Chains A and B, each alone.
Chain A
Amino acid sequence: MSQNVLEVRNLRKEFKGTAAVKDVSFDLPQGEILGLLGANGAGKTTTIHMLLGLITPTKGTIRLFGKDPERHRVEVLKRMNFASAYQFLPYNLRVHENLHVFAEIYNVKNPKQRIDEVLELFELTHLRKSSTGMLSAGEQTRLNLCKALLNEPELLLLDEPTASLDPDQADKVRKIILQCQRETGMTVLNTSHNMIDVHELCHRILFMQHGSIIAEGTAREILEKYSSNTLEEVFITIARSPALSLAESTEPNGAPATQERVQV
């Protein structure tokens, strides 16, 4: 059995008394690509930000590589990386300068060679000396992914990595992530609204709604459970389900409602 790279137990985050993430628990074994799905506001990004130490959990525990990230922050962050479609690298730096800065921060051995490798991987070599601000949205997204793979992370956190990519580029990015995962055994946690991403990339899926995980399993298992042909249908069913929304609401005393998690 694979060792867990990530263990999350009863993770909860409240902002001014409103729960954004409610008692979320899951494990992420080494080498697995886990998809975190859910509508806007489901709590996916808040969960990722808590894993990165950008947001302090209200309750619950996180273990990264068997360690408490609060006490071993730098140690665990060195072994991880992160890319989001909504984060950018400084626009007035050239592409290779941005990557050089992060290669130094992540203590990459032989940074020049590694920068060349990741640029080639994402077909950005010709833009090496371009100003980052001059790149298209898709190119910037791929540059973020270059940054995220610089240190050959053992755990890669992706927040909607293909959000601004055309279908061709999104397909290429998925193939690169899969290739890297197969070659290095990297573990990936991927949030996405793109069901093709999830279907093609993820070994296992967690569906989140209103801050809780409401379904968990492989794509095939989830499709069977919801008697659907596509994950998109499942997504829409869950997002529009008043019963689930109701189940997610808090009890009159303010305590979170008990909620059944569909294990498929």
Chain B
Amino acid sequence: MNFRVVKALILKYGYICSRNTFRALDIFFWPVMDLLVWGFVSVYMMKSTNALPALVTFLIAAAILWNVMFRAQQVVSVSFLDDVWSRNLLNIWAAPIRPIEYVGAAYIMGLAQAVIVLVLVGGLAIPFYSFNIFSLGVGFAFLFVNLLMMGWSMGLLVTGFILRWGPPAEALAWAVPFIVQPVSAVFYPISVLPPWLQPVAYAVPAAHVFEGMRQLIQHGQIAPVHIWCAVGLNLLYMFFSACMFKFCFEQARRRGFLAKYAA
């Protein structure tokens, strides 16, 4: 891997983000809106019902962590779309860039944005709701890393779909996180889901992460089963998404889609 290439791709994305107001909204505005809405919903629930105090922190922590995964996924997919939209795709793929360097750069950018969003909304939650997500310690790092991995996998999978199916698949870059959200047990436990849907949720790494998050907040630790399931599933999906990306990339080359979408 040539780190100079990775650095160049990160630099390109950094320039694009710094020049685009809407990208700033993605990073600074929407995550804060999420935090405010879910924060006020949980405060309302506390006041109007006899909801457990932990429920407030569950919802706020979930709103913060959901944005970690969402950002990581979006950055990976949108960094590819940037090259499609600016008709720069052929310049990139005709350059001496290895797929691993391209994907590696996208992952690092996803990590960077996830950290920015986390620091921003996690920091705001302290004065707004007296909730400090960073006080969750090592367990919190586990939650963050696993959501990041799932975001990366989804982002790469969506990029592969866009390569294979072209512009009609672009909407997936925004839709996919919301497709998996109901079975990710973000704001409610897996047990709330209908029995037939629960096995699906158990196959989603994020569901184990959010179950673990609730355990961490309530009991100060995460059940090992959720740790191992989240890590195992994430490694599996990262491998699967890499294979799918490679397959879709080769299909795009074989069918001439790479050149077609770039025109």
Residue in A45, A92, A106 whose CB lies within 8 Å of B19? A92
**How many chain-A residues does the 8 Å CB contact rule pick out?**
38
Q: Which of B15, B86, B95 has the most CB of A within 10 A?
A: B95
Least CB distance from A109 to B in Å reads 11
| Cα of A198 to Cα of B240 in the assembled complex, Å | 48
Is residue B2 within 8 Å, beta carbon to beta carbon, of the partner chain?
A: yes
> B86 contacts which of A91, A102, A147 (Cβ < 8 Å)?
A91
- How far is B249's CA from A56's CA once the two chains are assembled, in angstroms? 11
1/0 contact string of A58-84 vs chain B (CB within 8 Å)? 000000000000000111011000101
Binding site for A on B (CB under 8 A): 2, 4-5, 7-9, 11-12, 15-16, 19-20, 82-83, 86-88, 90-91, 93-98, 250, 253-256, 258-259, 262-263
B258, A86: Cβ atoms closer than 8 Å: no
When distances are taken between beta carbons in the complex, the residues of chain B under 8 Å from A84 are 90
A91 contact set on B, CB distance < 8 A: 86
The residue in chain B whose Cβ has the minimal distance to the Cβ of A80 is: B94
Which one, A54, A56, A93, A104, contacts B90 given CB within 8 A? Answer: A54
Whole-angstrom CA separation of A13 from B88 in the bound complex? 24
Contact call A56/B254, Cβ cutoff below 8 A:
yes
A99: shortest Cβ distance to chain B, in Å?
11
Residues of B close to A13: CB separation below 8 A: 256
For B88, the chain A residues whose CB sits under 8 A away are 87-90
A107 within 8 A of B: yes
* Complex Cα–Cα for A84 and B255 (A): 20
A93 to B86, CA, bound (A): 10
Q: Determine the residue in chain A with the shortest Cβ distance to B87.
A: A88
CB distance from A79 to the nearest CB of B (A): 9
**Set of chain A residues within 8 Å of B255, measured between Cβ atoms:** 15
B residues near A49, Cβ cutoff 8 Å:
90, 256, 258-259
Chain B residues near A74 (CB-CB < 8 A): 96-98
Find out whether the CB atom of B7 lies under 8 angstroms from the CB atom of A87. Answer: no
* CB atoms of B15 and A97 under 8 A apart: yes
| Residues on the A chain within 8 Å of B2, using CB | 107
- Shortest Cβ distance from residue A51 to the other chain B in the assembled complex, whole angstroms: 9
- If A86-B87, A88-B87 touch, whether A105 touches B8 (CB-CB below 8 Å) is yes
Question: Apart from A54-B258, A55-B258, A56-B250, what 7 extra A-B contacts exist at CB < 8 Å?
Answer: A53-B94, A86-B87, A92-B15, A93-B12, A100-B8, A104-B8, A147-B91
Q: Are A102 and B253 also in contact (CB < 8 A) when A90-B12, A91-B86, A92-B15 are?
A: no
Which chain B residue has the least Cβ–Cβ distance from A132? B86
In the bound complex, residues from chain B placing their C-beta under 8 Å from that of A102 are 8, 91, 95
Q: A106 touching B96 by the CB < 8 A rule?
A: yes
In the assembled complex, which residues on chain B have CB atoms less than 8 Å from the CB atom of A45?
259
Complex formed: what's the CA distance from A74 to B102 in Å?
A: 13
- Asked if A54 and B93 sit within 8 Å, CB to CB, the answer is yes
